[in-house]
Every structure is written in structure tokens, then in C-alpha cells.
Amino acid sequence: MSGSPIEELLSAIDVLDLDRTLALLAPECTFLMADGHAGAGHEALGEALGELFAHLHRVEHRISAQWHVDEVWIAELEADYELTDRSRLLALPRALILRKEEQGISDLRVYGAHEREIYERDLAPGGLVIGGRYMPPL
């Protein structure tokens, strides 16, 4: 879908470009990641994405469907991750919802089918770890 803010955002993320990613977001953007990490503002999102990017060698997102009504955009997608240790996590299902306003993306929500159970939340501080491996939240 031409002009999609979701495509622009994923394009910046797929080249692990933090500055380009943050430039698409409104200064007080709120966010929720698939691992439950939530916050508001460029600083908080920059820290969350910086931590994510530090674990990644490569990432690729493929959009299978997307819709939008007014300023709300929704996409179904798959994500492939190659971690810095070169292990791979392939075809992880994700759903992304964002609100695009004049100043940029004002709200970003990422949902995944692989987020950890509520009882596991305290077992992996600093991110989701499955089988000893980091699970990227976006």
C-alpha cells in the first residue's frame, strides 16, 4: 500500500537504523512491544529499540495484509530475525497497529504469537528469553 507509515517504519527497522526509525515517530509517541515493554517518548523508545537492535544482526518483516481507517493503520506480518550469534528465528507472526498524526506516528503497538506467559515475566529481565535465546519484541 503506497504511502503506508507501516511500510516506512518497517523499512527503517529492517536496516537497523535507529535515527531513521525515530524520525518517523512523534516526539511523545507511546508504544507497546510484543514482550510487554511499554513507554512514551523518543528517549524511552530509543532505549527499547537500541536494546533490540543490539541483539540483531539482521531483521526482515513481510507484510501479508494491511488496512487503515483515518489515522489508524493495522498490518499482519511475519518477522525473521538473525541474532548477533547468527541463530535465526523465522516467520514469527506479528500484528502491528499504529496511529499516524501530523507530527508522525503517535502510538505504536506490536503484538506477537510468541510473547511469554504472564508467569514468566520475572524470569527474563531485560527482554524475553526462550530456551536461552533472546526473542525480539518487534
The pLDDT value recorded for residue 119 is 41
Total domains in the fold of the chain: 1
**Beta strand pairing call for 104-112 and 133-135:** unpaired
Q: Show the domain range for 118.
A: 5-135
The pLDDT value recorded for residue 22 is 97
- Backbone region of residue 36 per phi and psi (left: phi > 0; alpha: psi in -120 to 50; beta: other values): left
The pLDDT value recorded for residue 113 is 78
Question: Residue 60: which of 85, 38, 77, 41 has the closest Cα?
Answer: 77
The pLDDT value recorded for residue 130 is 57
The model scores a pTM over 0.75: yes
- Backbone region of residue 3 per phi and psi (left: phi > 0; alpha: psi in -120 to 50; beta: other values): left
Query: Which CATH number is 26's domain given?
Result: 3.10.450.50
Question: Residue 57: which of 15, 115, 118 has the closest Cα?
Answer: 15
- The span from the CA of 53 to the CA of 16, in Å, is 6
- List per-residue pLDDT tens for the chain, 138 residues long: 568 999 999 999 999 999 999 999 999 999 999 888 899 999 999 999 998 999 999 999 999 999 999 999 999 999 999 999 898 888 999 999 999 999 999 999 999 876 554 444 444 455 666 556 666 776
Helix (H) or strand (E) holding 54: helix 42-54
